[in-house]
C-alpha cells in the first residue's frame, strides 16, 4: 500500500492468530480455492495461462457443490481456480504433447484461444502449500490468505465490464486511450480507500465493535477536500461516481473475507431528482435510508490483512498487545498517542503477566519528568494504577513524598480507603491541578469536558489563579492560557489570562 512511511495509526484490537486463521479458512473464495486444489489431479487440464479448460469448469463447479449448468457457478469456479493458482495451492505441470485425438485437441485449442489462452494445454496438481492449510501453523494459513488477498485486490483494480465495453472501438478492440486506465493509479486509489476505512474503523470505537461505515462517507473521504463545510454540486457528483466504483469493488472483496458489505440499493439508481416533491429541500436520512446507499465493515480478518499490507509499506500500524514485552517507559510513551479505550486495553495486557508491585514501581518511575509529554504520561500511569490491585500499594506508598508523583499516589490510596494517607500541602494540590489540566490538554484539547473540569477545579479552590501562576510546573503558563480561552465563566477566564502573563514572566 502506498502511504507516508512515518505515518502512525491508532492501534487495532485483533483476535488471536488461531481465530483469524479459522476465519480465513471459511472465507468463501479461499475455501473454494482450497477445495479445488484438493480436487486437482492427473485429469486436470489448463491452458497456457493456467486457466482451467472451459470443458472442465462444470466439473469444477460440481466439486464446489455448485450447479454445473449455471454460468455464475462456473464463473465462481474459474475465480476460485485462479485464486488457488495465485496462492500456490495448485501448481502447473508441463504442457502436453500432440493429442491422440486430433478432433478433441482442436476443440480444446479453439476453446483456449477464445478464452485468451495459447491453445496449448498442460496439467495441474495440488501444490506443496496445500499441506500448510491442514497441517501448518495459523500464521502459515494467514500467509496463504494474504497472498489470495493481494490477488483479489489486483483484480478489483481492473476496469469493470461496463468500462471495457465503453472503451471498444469500431473494430471491437479496446481503445486504452479512451479507457483512461492506469493500473498503478487504480491500485493506489483502492489502497487509499481501504486505508481510510481502516482509519475510520480503528479510530471509532463504535465501528471497531462491529458498526459499519456508510459508503457515501467513505467515498467523500476520498474526494471532498478537508474543511469544505458544504460540498459543491461537482464534489457531490464525484462522490456519487466513487460510490458506484466502490460498490463494484466491495462486491469483489467480500468473498475473500476482507469486508462485510451491504450493496447500494439498485432501486436508488432508477430514481431521479424529478421524483422529489416540489419545494423539497435537503433532509436528514434515518439509519435505514442511509444503509440503502451501501454500508461496509472491515472484518477482524480484514483488519489483520490491511494492517499487514500497511506494515509492509512502512506504515506504523500498531496492534493492542504489541507492547506487552516492552518496558514501562515505552508503554507510557506509546499509549499517550492512543485513544482512551485502546490505551486501557494495552495497559491491561502489559500488567497481566507482571508481578503487581514491581510493575507499578516501574510505571511510576517512567511517569516522572518535566518534559512536555510528562503530564500525559502521568495521567496514563494513573489510569494504569486504577486497574492495579492491592499488591500495588507498597510501590504507591513509596512515592508519597515525590513532588511529581505524591499527588496521584494520595488519590489512588484515598480512593481505596487506605489508612494513614498524609494530607497534601497546598503546593502539591496546585501542582497536581496544573499537571492534570496539562495532561487533559495533551490528550484532547477540544474535549467538551475540559471547560467543565476547569470550572470545577476553580470553584473548589478559592483564589485559584492567584496561586496557580506561582506553581513550579513547566506547563503552568500553557495551562493558564488555555483556561483563559476555555473557561466558561468570563470573569474567571479574564483572571486566568492575567495569571498566565505572570506565569510566563517568571519563567527563565
Whole-number Å distance between alpha carbons of 261 and 240: 17
Instruction: Give the pLDDT confidence of 184-195 residue by residue, as tens digits.
Output: 888 899 999 999
Cell of 483: 483556561
- Mean pLDDT: which of 64-73, 332-341, 443-452 is highest? 64-73
Question: In degrees rounded to 5, what are phi and psi of residue 415?
Answer: -65, -25
More confident residue, 7 or 261: 261
Average pLDDT of the chain to the nearest whole number: 85
**Helix, coil or strand: residue 449:** helix
Question: Which pLDDT score, from 0 to 100, does residue 114 have?
Answer: 44
Question: Which pLDDT score, from 0 to 100, does residue 419 have?
Answer: 85
More confident residue, 340 or 478: 478
Question: Which pLDDT score, from 0 to 100, does residue 186 have?
Answer: 86
Whole-number Å distance between alpha carbons of 245 and 100: 48
Alpha helices in 169-299 (DSSP H): 176-179, 183-203, 205-208, 215-223, 233-253, 266-269, 287-291
Evaluate if residue 280 carries a pLDDT over 60: no
Q: What is the average per-residue pLDDT within 415-435?
A: 91
Question: Which of the four pLDDT bands, split at 50, 70 and 90, describes residue 370?
Answer: very high
- Mean pLDDT: which of 108-117, 174-183, 302-311 is highest? 302-311
Please state, for a pLDDT cut of 90, what percent of the chain lies above it. Answer: 57
Evaluate if residue 108 carries a pLDDT over 90: no
More confident residue, 67 or 122: 67
More confident residue, 183 or 96: 183
Question: Which of the four pLDDT bands, split at 50, 70 and 90, describes residue 207?
Answer: low
Question: Which of the four pLDDT bands, split at 50, 70 and 90, describes residue 178?
Answer: low
Question: Which of the four pLDDT bands, split at 50, 70 and 90, describes residue 168?
Answer: low
Q: What is the average per-residue pLDDT within 444-457?
A: 89
Whole-number Å distance between alpha carbons of 344 and 338: 9
Evaluate if residue 176 carries a pLDDT over 80: no
Whole-number Å distance between alpha carbons of 63 and 68: 9
Q: What is the average per-residue pLDDT within 367-373?
A: 94
Evaluate whether 217 touches 243 at the Cβ level (below 8 Å): no
Of 104-108, 162-166, 493-497, the poorest mean pLDDT is in 104-108
Q: Is the pTM of this model over 0.85?
A: no
Of 136-150, 336-350, 360-374, 421-435, the poorest mean pLDDT is in 336-350
Evaluate if residue 16 carries a pLDDT over 70: yes
More confident residue, 268 or 475: 475
Evaluate if residue 247 carries a pLDDT over 90: yes
Whole-number Å distance between alpha carbons of 334 and 8: 11
More confident residue, 184 or 138: 138
Domain range list for the chain: 17-134, 328-424, 429-506
Cβ contacts of residue 87 below 8 Å, gap of 6+? 33, 129, 144, 147, 148, 151
Question: Which pLDDT score, from 0 to 100, does residue 287 have?
Answer: 64
Evaluate if residue 167 carries a pLDDT over 50: no
Count the helix, strand and coil residues of the chain and give each as a percent rounded to the nearest 5. 60, 5, 35
Question: Which of the four pLDDT bands, split at 50, 70 and 90, describes residue 289?
Answer: confident
Cβ contacts of residue 220 below 8 Å, gap of 6+? 231, 239
Question: Which of the four pLDDT bands, split at 50, 70 and 90, describes residue 116?
Answer: very low
Of 81-85, 171-175, 286-290, 301-305, the poorest mean pLDDT is in 171-175
Angle between helical axes of 426-444 and 406-415 (0-180°, round to 10) = 90
Of 60-64, 259-263, 352-356, 476-480, the poorest mean pLDDT is in 352-356
Question: Which of the four pLDDT bands, split at 50, 70 and 90, describes residue 226?
Answer: confident
Q: Which residues of 145-183 are buried (b: 16+ CB within 10 A; e: fewer)?
A: bbbbbebbbebbbebeeebeeebeeeeeebeeeeeebee
Whole-number Å distance between alpha carbons of 127 and 144: 12
Evaluate whether 10 touches 202 at the Cβ level (below 8 Å): yes
Evaluate if residue 288 carries a pLDDT over 90: no
Of 37-51, 134-148, 178-192, 249-263, the poorest mean pLDDT is in 178-192
Question: Which pLDDT score, from 0 to 100, does residue 159 have?
Answer: 65
Evaluate if residue 145 carries a pLDDT over 90: yes
Evaluate if residue 107 carries a pLDDT over 50: no
Amino acid at each position: 500500500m502506498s502511504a507516508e512511511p512515518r505515518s502512525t495509526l491508532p492501534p487495532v484490537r485483533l483476535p488471536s492468530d488461531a481465530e483469524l486463521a479459522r476465519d480465513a479458512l471459511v472465507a468463501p473464495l479461499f475455501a473454494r480455492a482450497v477445495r479445488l486444489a484438493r480436487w486437482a489431479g492427473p485429469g486436470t487440464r489448463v491452458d497456457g495461462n493456467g486457466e482451467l479448460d472451459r470443458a472442465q469448469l462444470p466439473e469444477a463447479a460440481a466439486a464446489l457443490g455448485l450447479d454445473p449448468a449455471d454460468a455464475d457457478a462456473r464463473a465462481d469456479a474459474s475465480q476460485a481456480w485462479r485464486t488457488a493458482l495465485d496462492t500456490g495451492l495448485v501448481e502447473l505441470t508441463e504442457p502436453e504433447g500432440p493429442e491422440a485425438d486430433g478432433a478433441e485437441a482442436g476443440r480444446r485449442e479453439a476453446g483456449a484461444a477464445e478464452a485468451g489462452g495459447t491453445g496449448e494445454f498442460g496439467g495441474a496438481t495440488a501444490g506443496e502449500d496445500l499441506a500448510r492449510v491442514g497441517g501448518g501453523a495459523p500464521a502459515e494459513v494467514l500467509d496463504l490468505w494474504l497472498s489470495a488477498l493481494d490477488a483479489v485486490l489486483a483484480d478489483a483494480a481492473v476496469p469493470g465490464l461496463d468500462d471495457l465495453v465503453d472503451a471498444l472501438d469500431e473494430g471491437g478492440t479496446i481503445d486504452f486511450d479512451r479507457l483512461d486506465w492506469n493500473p498503478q493509479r487504480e491500485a493506489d486509489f483502492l489502497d487509499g480507500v481501504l486505508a481510510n476505512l481502516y482509519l475510520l474503523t480503528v479510530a471509532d470505537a463504535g465501528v471497531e465493535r462491529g458498526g459499519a461505515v456508510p459508503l457515501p462517507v467513505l467515498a467523500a473521504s476520498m474526494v471532498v477536500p478537508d474543511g469544505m463545510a458544504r460540498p459543491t454540486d461537482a464534489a457531490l457528483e464525484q462522490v456519487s461516481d466513487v460510490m458506484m466504483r466502490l460498490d463494484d469493488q466491495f462486491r469483489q472483496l467480500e468473498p475473500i473475507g476482507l469486508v462485510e458489505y451491504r450493496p447500494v440499493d439498485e432501486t436508488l439508481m432508477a430514481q431521479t431528482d424529478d421524483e422529489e416533491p416540489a419545494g423539497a429541500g435537503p433532509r436528514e436520512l434515518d439509519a435505514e435510508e442511509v444503509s440503502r446507499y451501501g454500508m461496509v465493515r472491515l472484518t477482524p480478518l480484514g483488519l489483520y490483512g490491511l494492517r499487514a499490507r500497511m506494515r509492509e509499506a512502512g506504515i506504523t500500524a500498531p496492534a493492542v498487545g504489541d507492547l506487552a514485552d516492552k518496558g514501562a517507559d515505552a508503554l507510557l510513551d506509546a499509549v499517550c498517542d492512543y485513544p482512551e479505550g485502546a490505551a486501557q486495553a494495552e495497559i491491561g495486557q502489559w500488567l497481566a503477566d507482571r508481578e503487581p508491585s514491581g510493575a507499578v514501581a516501574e510505571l511510576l518511575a517512567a511517569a516522572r519528568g518535566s518534559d512536555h509529554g510528562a503530564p500525559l504520561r502521568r495521567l496514563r500511569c494513573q489510569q494504569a494504577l486504577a486497574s492495579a490491585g492491592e499488591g500495588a500499594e507498597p510501590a504507591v506508598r513509596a512515592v508519597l513524598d515525590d513532588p511529581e508523583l505524591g499527588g496521584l499516589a494520595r488519590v489512588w490510596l484515598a480512593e481505596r480507603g487506605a489508612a494513614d494517607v498524609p494530607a497534601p500541602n497546598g503546593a502539591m494540590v496546585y501542582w497536581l491541578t496544573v499537571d492534570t489540566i496539562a495532561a487533559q490538554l495533551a490528550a484532547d484539547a477540544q474535549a467538551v469536558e475540559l471547560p467543565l473540569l476547569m470550572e470545577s477545579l476553580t470553584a473548589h479552590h478559592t483564589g485559584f489563579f492567584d496561586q496557580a501562576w506561582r506553581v513550579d510546573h513547566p506547563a503552568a503558563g500553557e495551562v493558564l492560557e488555555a483556561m483563559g480561552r476555555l473557561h466558561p465563566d468570563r470573569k474567571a477566564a479574564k483572571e486566568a489570562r492575567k495569571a498566565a502573563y505572570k506565569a510566563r514572566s517568571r519563567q527563565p
